[in-house]
Chain A
């Protein structure tokens, strides 16, 4: 594509195409968006984050990420659509404009670029990172079990060949460590939404313990509003609740760590599943999926703006 206007949002793209999109978006909108490299992947690929900002220094911020799990292609594709949506809506949509006038938005479209590239070149079903595990012929770690929150407890696997292998130690994956370092050094991130597919869920901490999050009542109410708004577009039904009560016990997850690190509005989403395709959601459903997901995201972002802490 020669511009982000002619970019096709209704097809899946390779990592190179997504990186080209990122560069185009930044070139077209230098006053609103910039590209930050927060680190390099295990195989040396850049970990690119888009920063949407209207100015200020170290403003309170919202973090969005898509694509920790390589094969969940609709998440990366939705991330691309979100990036364009933010650009289009700033100055046009009252809610998004108000958010960006006070807060920055960080968006990491491809958290696991090695895995994503591998899912295009070699194995469409690849989920994990591509790091080599000492003493095992099996490659990769589940980056959503590698965070320092209940690391290694039930709800993850110590078997390097398992799809939920937690890794040798917390933050062993450079892709995880890069986000941890970024979040810690920023110090002013107020909401964190990590996006997966597919089970149609909006979840909040915890996954590693049945203990209630201190803010559970508020997180639950906000999740309900977000899900109601999401469903209003195409009637897609979502469930919501804590990770452990809604889906299953999962330790070392992203949002358990962010919540324990003081980011109150910590959520993870599982995007659309029509019941027929799972991870192989047809490309024609990318835009509808992104559109409905955006309604939940804007709800959480708007709430974050209006309920500072």
Chain B
């Protein structure tokens, strides 16, 4: 199974259209291997991105250097997936 250890999901709050556009630039940076859970649309809508561990620092630096606010929505994706699996297995064994 694919391992998502260290992957974080960032929730980005773009303040205006210019910041939305800036976040869109991230979509073109294929080497970062970002997974847009909720893509950039307009300033009032949050943008959620799953960021693989090796890209976490680069993305955070990009956001901070452009003054774009974000929070960590999921600290470690794999931890949540492990909990999900445990819950399913517990149900089956019961």
Contact = CB atoms under 8 A, between A and B. Distances in A.
Interface in B20-75: 30, 35-42, 45, 48, 50, 73-74
Contact of A123 (B2, B36, B37, B38): B2
B26 to A, nearest CB: 14
A248 B14 CA distance: 15
Interface in A220-255: 247-248
A132 interface: no
Interface stretch (A35-43, A175-183, A274-282): A274-282
Contacts of A199: 38, 45
B74 A280 contact: yes
A123 B73 contact: no
Contacts of A248: 39-42
Interface residues of B, number: 27
A161 to B, nearest CB: 8
A35 to B, nearest CB: 24
Contacts of A198: 38
Interface in B59-94: 73-74, 77, 80-81, 83-84, 87-88, 91
Contact of B45 (A13, A163, A247): A247
Contacts of A122: 1-2
A121 B1 contact: yes
A11 interface: yes
A122 B74 CA distance: 21
Contacts of A303: none
A6 to B, nearest CB: 12
B9 interface: yes
A125 interface: yes
Contacts, number: 58
Nearest to A73: B84
A57 interface: no
Contact of A11 (B2, B9, B41, B88): B88
Contacts of B84: 12, 124, 280, 282-283
Contacts of A247: 41, 45
A163 B81 contact: no
> Which secondary structure characterizes the binding site on chain B?
mixed
Contacts of B38: 198-199, 278
> Which secondary structure characterizes the binding site on chain A?
loop
Interface residues of A, number: 23
B83 to A, nearest CB: 8
A8 interface: yes
A13 B74 CA distance: 23
B8 to A, nearest CB: 12
A142 to B, nearest CB: 12
Nearest to A17: B92
B35 A163 contact: yes
Interface string A1-32: 00000001001110000000000000000000
Nearest to B46: A275
A178 to B, nearest CB: 27
Contacts of B40: 248
B41 to A, nearest CB: 4
B50 A125 contact: yes
A163 B88 CA distance: 27
21 contacts: A8-B91, A11-B91, A12-B87, A13-B88, A123-B2, A124-B81, A125-B4, A125-B50, A163-B36, A247-B41, A248-B39, A248-B41, A248-B42, A276-B74, A277-B74, A278-B37, A278-B38, A278-B48, A278-B73, A280-B80, A282-B87
Given A123-B2, A125-B2, A283-B84, 5 more contacts: A13-B88, A122-B2, A247-B41, A277-B74, A278-B73
Interface of A: 8, 11-13, 121-125, 161, 163, 198-199, 247-248, 275-280, 282-283
